[in-house]
Amino acid sequence: MDWPFTTFDVLIFLSTLIGVMVLGLVAGRKENTSEDYFLAGRDIRWWGVAGSIFGSNVSANHMVGMMGIGFSVGFAQSHFELGAILGLMMLCYFFLPVYRKLNVYTLSEYLEKRYDHRSRLAYAIIMLVIMILVQMVPALYIGSRSACVLLGERGTFTEEIEVEKSKLIVDEQSGKLVRETSTETKPKLKVDKTYYNSFVIALALITASYTIFGGLKAVVYTDAIQSLLILIAGLTLAALTFYQMGGWSEMMRLDHLGNADLGIAPAEKMHLYRSTNDPDLPWTGVFTGLMCMHMFYWGTNQFIVQRALGARSDIEARSGIVAAGFLKLLIPFFAIGTGVAAFYLFQMELPDEKVDPDIAFTKLMALVVPVGYGLFGLIAAGLIGAILSSIDSMMNSSATIVSVDIYKRYLRPEATDKEMILVGRLFIVVAVLIATLMAIFVINPNSEANFFLTIVDYQGYLVPGILVAFFFGIFWKRGTATAAFATILAGILFSALIDNGAKWWVGDVLNPELDHPSGPWVLNYVGESLQFFHRVILVLFCSSVLYIVVSLMQKETPSEDLPTWQTTQKVSPAQMKMLVLGIAIALGVYAILGYLLLQDALSPMLAGLLGAFWTLLARAPSTFRSIGQRLSETEGKLSWLLFTEDRVWSTLLCMVAVFMLYYYV
């Protein structure tokens, strides 16, 4: 690929980048107190909450990674967006009211108020590992790799490689396991290590420049602008891709029927559900482990929740969260669906080239974006904006944890606001240095793996115990401090034990030489290894059992002042029972609709509409109660309250998500 940027592209790109940096520095120039620096003075408007949550979540890992998985796996990757709606609703109406009632800076503070300082410290350390090593490092990697591909021949080179494919199958005649292997030689695009390293350093320095001096307000303002850039870039690339393909309908036709004249076989990628033995997104793992990880990511994750903690009011916080949910529902179409389109487009235009999932985004840019109109600069600005909006969030949140949860809590309880801000700024420098060195010396810039799924896998080792401690802490008053601390640590141990145990067991059962009688069954229903979503749900089960057993073994009388959802929101036991019953009934109806759909008793369209209507009915009582309460507290017009009531919009959001879950079956 030749140098694709014209002078106009470079001008657009640089002006956007410089503008974002200046905005961040100006927005945060008056951050004098720790509350100003770490929570933006608790004065963030709903659009700031929405833009910052979306921008923090939709990093380059998302823009590039989601398209890469759409390209290699398919539309089933949309579960990462559709399932996020559950996590956002849990945050909005269950977790956040408790956090904001306690007026905390960090979620670690909540754990100390609910349990004790041990859980607070354990959470703080684990979150620092996640934010720096599991989030910042991959963001620098994927951003720098994409930037190299955008440079064309200056930042990349092509090398012939031998691709070996290996697959375990059940022989139809003997019924025994047989391993099939094949090799082929294809050209592979690789990035130049010197350019890659330079981009890693540049991205780290640019982000650190405004995050260090501006604090959360700088992060929120820049994230809002960068979220807009992300949407513009993603939608522009999607529009150009489908225009070249002949539209969404043509992509759907190729996916179902293929094109014999062009040698394209139908890959059936535009389905949400994959078999239980799928190595990437089994439907059983999607509705268990992935859903639980959504609850962790959106409800108990410092760098996401921190934006809502800094909101001006509860209503502004909830409205921002719901708005972020609507933005999330765009990703299946402009990122994942476009990745599926790229799968077919590359077969037409680049039939002999081996394209890695992580460079599908930039390769697609080179293929469909016309030169000379500034579109390259615009899309590149959106890509870089996605990188910056993710990294700056990690920097600020990690600085908050170190300053509040470690420095002030354990080292200098009498620390002043200025001292805490200084410590936060110094830690950002340390975090950036660690992430930069890791991205340069540890990460392979020419990896062939789906890096997005790799990130989720690594995170899945660390978070099950944390989720259990938060979930039971918020909903069960009987849970004890020792149980929470033990569970947070044991979750990591359980992950390692179950993962290694499964590797040993599955490897033994699926060894063709041993001819194990259960081999074909395990291969058909489990796969060649335990998929990590299945591991997560097993770890969550073990962690929950440990938490409950330890809590019941300790003869402690729970205080009525414990910060749980029931106590902070004044929910009676009877109301709690009705809520649990209502959730069980709702899930039962969804399951019945799914069964009827699988039996062909309902079409996908009808099942989706019925599911959406049932969601409306299930959410109606709480929505009307909220509107009635606001009418009694204010003298506003009903029409205006309907427009501004977050529960109305969250109901619509849930209806759209449920419809998609059935329609794209």
Q: Is residue 176 part of a domain?
A: no
Nearest to 398 by CA among 47, 177, 178, 137: 137
Query: Are 346 and 199 contained in the same domain?
Result: yes
pLDDT computed for residue 79 by the predictor: 96
Range of the domain at 586: 572-665
Query: Are 590 and 442 contained in the same domain?
Result: no
Q: Which residue among 393, 419, 449 closes a domain? A: 449
How far, in Å, CA of 85 to CA of 327, rounded? 11
Return the axis-axis angle of helices 117-129 and 464-475, rounded to nearest 10°: 140
pLDDT computed for residue 18 by the predictor: 83
| Each residue's pLDDT tens digit, 260-306 | 777 788 889 999 999 999 988 999 999 999 999 999 999 999 888 98
Cβ neighbors of 51 (< 8 A, separation 6 or more) are 220, 223, 224, 225, 227, 228, 324
Nearest to 526 by CA among 547, 502, 553: 502
Tokens 């909006």, residue? 389
Q: Are strands 156-170 and 177-191 parallel, antiparallel or unpaired?
A: antiparallel
Q: At 434, which CATH number?
A: 1.20.1730.10
Q: Which residue among 430, 449, 468 closes a domain? A: 449
Q: Is residue 234 part of a domain?
A: yes
pTM of the model: 0.89
Query: Are 435 and 577 contained in the same domain?
Result: no
| CA pseudo-torsion sign 337, 338, 340, 341 | positive
Q: Is residue 553 part of a domain?
A: no
pLDDT computed for residue 509 by the predictor: 86
Q: Is residue 544 part of a domain?
A: no
Q: Is residue 366 part of a domain?
A: yes
- For every residue of 116-161, DSSP letters joined together read -HHHHHHHHHHHHHIIIIIIIHHHHHHHHHHHHHHTGGGTEEEEEE
pLDDT computed for residue 87 by the predictor: 96
| Percent of the chain as helix, strand, coil, to the nearest 5 | 75, 5, 20
If one counts the domains in the chain, the total is 2
**Residues 326 and 58: beta-carbon distance below 8 Å:** no
Q: Is residue 559 part of a domain?
A: no
pLDDT computed for residue 43 by the predictor: 80
pLDDT computed for residue 167 by the predictor: 78
Q: Is residue 479 part of a domain?
A: no
Q: Is residue 333 part of a domain?
A: yes
Regions of the chain where pLDDT drops below 70: 1-4, 27-33, 36-41, 59-61, 163, 186, 449-450, 557-559, 633-641
Q: Which residue among 425, 449, 473 closes a domain? A: 449
